[in-house]
Amino acid sequence: MTAHPTARTAVLATCLALALTACGPSGQQPGGGFHGFPPAQVVTQTMAPRSIPVAFEYVGQTYGSKDVEVRARVNGIVEKRLFQEGAAVRAGQPLFVIDPRPYAAQVAAAEAEVARAEAQKNQADREAARLKPLAERKAIGQKEADDAASAADLAAAAVKSARAKLVELNLNLAYTRVNAPIGGLTSRAQVSEGALAVQNQTLLTTISQIDPIWVGFTVSENDRLRLNRASAENRLVLPKDNAYDVTVKLSDGTAFPKRGRINFSDTRINPTTGTYEMRAELPNSDAGLKPGQFVRVVLRGAQRKDALAVPQTAVMDGPQGKFVYVTAKDKDGKDIAAVRPVVVGDWVDADGGNLWVIESGLKAGDVVIVDGIAKLMPGGQVILGGAPGGAAPAGPGPAGGAPGAAAPGGSAPGKAAGGAVLGAAPKTDAPAPSAPDKDASKPIDAAGKTADAKR
Please state, in angstroms and rounded to a whole number, the distance separating the CA atoms of residues 117 and 110.
Answer: 10
Q: Which residues pair with 255 in a beta bridge?
A: 249
Q: Say how many Å lie between the first and final Cα of the chain, rounded.
A: 29
Inter-residue contact 407 to 382 (CB < 8 Å): no
Contacting residues for 359 by C-beta, under 8 A, at least 6 apart? 342, 343, 344, 345
Domains and CATH numbers, the chain: 55-64+208-303 (2.40.30.170), 73-99+176-201 (2.40.50.100), 100-175 (1.10.287.470)
Instruction: State if pTM tops 0.75.
Output: no
Contacting residues for 102 by C-beta, under 8 A, at least 6 apart? 76
Would you write out the chain's pLDDT as a tens digit for each of its 455 residues?
444 444 444 444 334 333 433 444 444 444 455 556 788 889 999 999 999 888 899 999 999 999 999 999 999 999 999 999 999 999 999 999 999 999 999 999 999 999 999 999 999 999 999 998 988 888 888 889 899 999 999 999 999 999 999 999 999 999 999 999 999 999 999 999 999 999 999 999 999 999 999 999 999 999 999 899 989 988 899 999 999 999 999 999 999 999 999 999 999 999 999 999 999 999 999 999 999 999 999 999 999 988 999 999 899 998 889 999 999 998 888 899 999 999 998 888 777 778 888 989 999 999 999 998 888 888 888 998 743 333 333 333 333 333 333 333 333 333 333 333 333 333 334 333 333 343 433 333 433 344 343 33
Please state, in angstroms and rounded to a whole number, the distance separating the CA atoms of residues 347 and 322.
Answer: 14
Residue type, 257: P
